[in-house]
Structure 1
């Protein structure tokens, strides 16, 4: 039997809000987002990559894989 996974489609506006909230949260903790990180976030907002890819790129950038 095949296993189905639920996916939730998001709009660009929802993705943009999520990115803004994540950046703000990090800034509240004293962190900053690099230019490369912001570029990846824009790829996510535009829908060219999904959230899993965004996390994967970030983890790879900081050698967390």
Structure 2
């Protein structure tokens, strides 16, 4: 899947009925993150930092938080 510029995306594991949706979108050289139930609160990061986080999540480094 290629980069989708300026379009909010969410995981297929997110559930609308419970409001547990973390959404991301690419804006220029940054990535924006927000929660669907608080769409005005946006966190901005870089693709490199997001990649490092995702690698850690895939490796189970944050499993103790859930």
TM-score category, normalised to shorter length: 0.3 to 0.5
TM-score if structure 1 supplies the norm length? Answer: 0.33
**Larger % of helix: which?**
1
Q: RCO (CA 8 Å, sep 6+): is it higher in 1 or 2?
A: 1
